[in-house]
Chain A
Amino acid sequence: MSRQGVSRREFMRLAGTSALSAWPAAALAGGLPQAAQQTAPGPFLQVALVPCPDYGPETLAAAIRTGWRSSRPPDVRGKRVVVKPNMVDVSPDRPIHTDPRLIEALVAHLADLGAREIVLAEATSHNRDAEDLFRRAGYEALARRQGVRIVDLNYDDLTPVKCVNPKATLLREIALPRTIGEADILISVPKMKTHKLAGITLSLKNMFGILPGMVYGWPKNTLHWNGIPLSICEINGTVKTHYAVVDGVVGMEGHGPIMGTARKAGVLVMGDNALAVDATAARVMGVDPARVDYLAMAHKLRLGSVRPADIQVAGGAIDRFRSDFVLDPEYAQLRMVP
């Protein structure tokens, strides 16, 4: 069971006080602060919106190159790069997981740029049969083709990390998989989807999948009891995502993240600030990011920004890509006013 009702009340309580002042900057993967600070007037975050009408290898390779160039990508030369897809489950009928063709194109791109090691890592969230899921998702085969390692984060060695939130309770000490802790560069590659408990799920929510099930359960119910918005912010405030690529070629609308239906948006959303990427992807989906609990909370905590004025979007006006995803009726209030 989710504790969404409780988490919302908790959010409102927090939002009404000064508790949501920025947390101290975390310095984990890569040793850089998560929080993005505005140093001058005008947009200080950059996101690339790239048309990508299909999963053909040439289309994907070109789109990734374009998006990478038009954003502020990390320097991956000589680095250990961990790619985190979204694989909450796998279905032949529904686009639940990040498409393996996108992951493969990204892996090839990172290799071309000189990454020393590329690891594909995931802690599946409620089906703990990762061997089965990695195989059915197509990740096992692509890893073999590209010569990269797959890590089931659910059973990785653990590094305890102090949560950036000084008032954290259930996540006071985060059990972080060693693969994540030792990454030089962490790249979140979620599927663009609606979510029955969070409204939408993109690169910040995707980070639920770095926490190991053997500590947090399948599903990661501890995070639900902690409150979904707060858990998302505590994880992302503590562990830096260096880059995000949202798979919006074909996303999922309706009763996501598992039982929804395919929705073609024909776009990749890329950038080095996960919150700005998610805010932009939300607008593509016809969702007002300021109305999404966890994005609003992350904004208040200065993990980036959801404000259009703070985000320079390369690749064209968002309206050009807008494709209103069908929302779960419970989240109808998230719809962006045209």
Chain B
Amino acid sequence: MMSPRLSQAIDFLKARQNPDGGWGYADGRASLVEPTGLCAIALGAADGAAGEAGRGLAFLKSCQKASGAVGIGPRDEDGGWMAYAALLAFHALGAGPEEQRLKDWILGFEDASGRFSKEEVAIVAERYRYDASIPGWSWIPRTTAWVEPTALFILALRRAGVPATEKRIRSGVELILDRRVRSGGWNFGNPSSKSYELEASTMSTALALAALGAAGIPESRSAVGAGLRFLKDMLGRDVSTASLAWALLALKSFPAGASSVAGVADRLSRLQATDGGFRGNPFETSLAYLVLSDAPGLVALPGAGR
């Protein structure tokens, strides 16, 4: 059951909705797709906020182009990574036609994997120890794919009912596994640079694990097990609000994470300010709300069916 404190997050979000129906990353900032997507889902899952959720959804629909693409805001013609949040919202709030067009666009989203020559793929393999020919998702179309946008799109596609056997999801999973830091966890997507292993980070690892969990990759896979160990180790340190929320989602995605969930949830809850928000940031507030409340728009618990 949701705590009264957590429900204050909804009041925080309601009070910070922009006149155009969207939300920015801070009070008074321009509306953008990522914060609006998650805020709309949070409000749609709460009691007495259907109007605000509907206006958020309308903003997201206004950002969709004829191609189905969704970018960072209404002026973005090319589409990009924030489309993941629009897909989650379209699905959670029942915008069927927009959801289908966006799914099709995301599944056709091209990264740079097809643009590299064999020689360039070989150079990347030698210098950075990854396979640049594996298609995933990039932040911006037609550039190099990285771990976080690939994870975000896998997560959204799976929540929107796309099967894990779908070709792009399988390829995205392959990319994430290929880009793992050998000693455990993930960073933005360069596991090595020449002879140096680059360090993994909490946020990238949490997102990668949440995506692998959503794609049904079991914790018995060594990369998942090592990632979970890395994540738990990092949680022993100071962790940012957003990383803590994504880490909680990752832990909820695997049975092996279950023992850590209550402690991390409590830690995240304690970051809520007296105004109901998290760091005054609508995106982080909605993310924390969704993960703490197990909102089905974002969270799918193991064994609960997807």
- The reply to whether the CB of A312 lies closer than 8 angstroms to some CB of chain B is no
- Taking the complex as formed, is A214 at the interface, i.e. its CB lies under 8 A from any CB of chain B? yes
Residue of A nearest to B143 (CB): A221
B37 nearest CB across to chain A (Å) = 13
Given known A1-B116, A221-B143, contact A132–B124 (CB-CB < 8 A): no
Interface membership of B138, Cβ < 8 A: yes
Q: What is the CB-to-nearest-CB distance from A328 to chain B, in angstroms, rounded to a whole number?
A: 8
- Complex: chain B residue closest to A197, CB-CB: B193
Closest residue on chain A to residue B72 by CB atoms: A214
B128 contacts A1, C-beta separation under 8 Å: yes
A216: B residues at CB distance < 8 A:
139-140
Q: Does A66 contact B (CB under 8 A)?
A: no
Q: Which of B29, B112, B194 contacts A255 (CB 8 A)?
A: B194
Taking a contact as CB atoms under 8 Å apart, the answer to whether B188 and A126 are in contact is yes
CB distance from A73 to the nearest CB of B (A): 32
Among B88-140, those with CB < 8 Å from A are 112, 116, 120, 123-124, 128, 132, 138-140
Residue from the list B72, B188, B190 in contact with A215, Cβ < 8 A? B72
**Which B residues are in CB contact (< 8 Å) with A128?**
148, 188, 203
Cβ of B64 under 8 Å from chain A: no
Contacts of B124 in A (CB 8 A): 1
Residue in chain A with minimal CB distance to B142:
A225
Q: Which of A183-235 contact B (CB under 8 A)?
A: 196, 213-219, 221-222, 224-225
Interface size classification for chain B: 35 or more
Residues of A contacting B138 in the complex (Cβ-Cβ under 8 angstroms)? 217, 221
Interface-located stretch among B215-223, B233-241, B296-304: B233-241
Bound form: Cα–Cα A13–B141 in Å = 26
A215 to chain B, nearest CB (A): 7
Q: How many residues of A contact B (CB 8 A)?
A: 30
Residues of chain B lying within 8 A (CB to CB) of residue A35: none
- Bound state CA distance, A156 and B29, in angstroms? 8
Q: Are B144 and A221 in contact, CB atoms less than 8 angstroms apart?
A: yes
Q: How far is B32's CA from A136's CA once the two chains are assembled, in angstroms?
A: 28
Residues in chain A within 8 A of chain B (CB atoms):
1, 5, 91, 126-129, 131-132, 135-136, 155-158, 196, 213-219, 221-222, 224-225, 255, 258-259
In the A-B complex, list the 4 residue pairs whose CB atoms are closest, starting with the nearest. A217-B139, A131-B240, A155-B25, A132-B240
A132-B243, A157-B29, A196-B194 provided; 12 other pairs, C-beta below 8 A?
A: A1-B124, A1-B132, A91-B199, A132-B202, A132-B203, A136-B238, A158-B30, A217-B146, A221-B143, A222-B143, A225-B112, A258-B193
| Contacts A/B (CB < 8 Å), 30 sampled | A1-B116, A5-B123, A127-B188, A128-B203, A129-B203, A131-B240, A131-B241, A131-B279, A132-B238, A132-B240, A155-B26, A196-B193, A214-B32, A214-B72, A215-B72, A216-B140, A217-B149, A218-B148, A218-B188, A219-B146, A219-B188, A221-B139, A221-B140, A221-B143, A221-B146, A222-B143, A224-B144, A225-B143, A258-B198, A259-B193
